[in-house]
Amino acid sequence: MTATTTVPVPAGLVATRRERSRVGRPHARLVWHLAATAIIWLTSLVVVALWVAGGGLQALIALDAETLNTFGRLSGLVSANLLLYQVLLMARVPVFERGFGRDGIARMHRFVGFWSFWLFSAHIVLQTLGYAATAGINPFVQLWEFVWDYPGMLLATAGTLLLLLVVATSIRRARRRLRYESWHLLHLYGYLGVGLAVPHMLWTGADFTAHPLASVYWWALWGATAVAVLVFRVGLPLARSLRHDLRVSTVARDGDRGVAVTMAGRGLHRMPVRAGQFFVWRFLDGPGWTRGHPFSLAAAPDGRSLTVAARLVGDGTHRLASLRPGTRVLIEGPYGEMTADVRIGRKLLLIGAGAGVAPLIALAEEAAWAPGEATLLVRDHAEGDALRRGEIARLERDRGLRYAALVGPRAPGVSPWLPAGHAGWKGADLLRYVAPDLDQYDVFLCGPGPWMDAVRADLRRAGVASTRIHAESFTV
């Protein structure tokens, strides 16, 4: 393994930095997690109660057309509830952001999204077959009557088609063929699809028309969800952007294929942001400014400026290189819980790939640690791809960071997160070699999802507890 030599510095140098990393937040995170989980369970229990109150259990054992109908009702209720979670999970509501973390939300969003669609499809099929059997008509005739004769069904049909579009473009193979900007724009149609698909349940569903309180509850819940989207995805980001008036101050190349952008603004010392968090950025530099891009902070926030760094791989990142000083910036955030507050101990093992090194550098700058207590492993395909080399060198020189570059094409075998030059190593063995006292480290990961999964697997093989592994994904 190629590594640079660390230069020890007096421990007093670390003490001059502001102590912003505190151990003791796990209790607060547990409270948020319990609150978020309680919301999901309580609303789910209401769904079950509605179905039972509507005679669902009795119809279940009838073994006739009504059995199909009750299964259709249940799948529709569960699907609508999952669609509610879909919207809430991506509305940046603080209770879910703090309770589940961005990585957890990303996994839940994908899981819930596909299940809500399949259950919604089952709802359509089962209700059509059940009503057709009751009326003694062809199921296709029944489906036609649903669409044209039942209140809200035309809207529901349009909503279903939009949800189908979102699901189809979210399949991994299809998504890889789309630019992030295009996929994100298509994904936003999911909000409209949900808005069109759900109202018919409230207008025609027996579980709601027979129980006025159920209708009031459901309308209130969806109304609160809509308000949450407007407040946390639109109102709060706009207010924060206007308050801090962020503008591009410098744009500089970072390595052979990267760019770093620094922005200054008003009262940034009052912004509740931590190293390791990310924003969704919109640069008002011309057509296409509405497309938001998630970038982590590449430097610890100092109360005067914010910095991001990215590799030039697509339209969004190439656009960063052409920004001009003075360009106004809109922000959503800060988001994410991968901050130094989640640490259990003092030692840090930071493992990043490509642009994933950026938030790790910010974490290393902000966190408190003594010389030799922080180790950074960076995975790049080529040496010229490396980002934040100047900042890494400064941390080595001034604070005693231990640094190793893992460069080259991907290695075959059980540890594909390593380069081919380290193919002789097992990932778990290399991790124990880098940090012999690995059980004393908190590990922070940032990089592509499959790469992080491979690293996480080797960390577990090396005996690292899951509570000491911290990672977040910004995609779904």
**What band does 190 get if pLDDT is binned at 50, 70 and 90?**
low
Architecture of the 26-239 domain: Up-down Bundle (1.20)
20 vs 139, residue with greater confidence:
139
**What band does 400 get if pLDDT is binned at 50, 70 and 90?**
very high
Q: Say yes or no to pLDDT of 178 above 80.
A: no
For residues 189-208, average pLDDT: 67
Listed ranges 81-90, 191-200, 406-415; the one with the highest mean pLDDT? 406-415
> What is the pLDDT, as a whole number, of residue 188?
66
> What is the pLDDT, as a whole number, of residue 186?
65
The percentage of the chain sitting over the pLDDT mark of 70, rounded to a whole number, equals 82
| pLDDT 10s digits, 287-327 | 878 888 889 999 999 999 999 999 887 666 788 888 999 99
For residues 184-194, average pLDDT: 66
132 vs 13, residue with greater confidence:
132
Q: Say yes or no to pLDDT of 358 above 60.
A: yes
301 vs 211, residue with greater confidence:
301
Mean pLDDT rounded to a whole number for the chain: 82
Architecture of the 11-22+339-471 domain: 3-Layer(aba) Sandwich (3.40)
Domain with CATH 3.40.50.80 in the chain: 11-22+339-471
The percentage of the chain sitting over the pLDDT mark of 90, rounded to a whole number, equals 35
99 vs 374, residue with greater confidence:
374
Q: Say yes or no to pLDDT of 22 above 70.
A: no
Q: Contact, 310 vs 320, CB < 8 A?
A: yes
**What band does 266 get if pLDDT is binned at 50, 70 and 90?**
very high
Domain with CATH 1.20.120.1770 in the chain: 26-239
| pLDDT 10s digits, 90-116 | 778 888 887 787 777 777 877 887 888
> What is the pLDDT, as a whole number, of residue 374?
95
Is this prediction's pTM over 0.85? no
| pLDDT 10s digits, 146-176 | 778 776 677 777 777 777 777 776 666 656 6
For residues 61-80, average pLDDT: 80
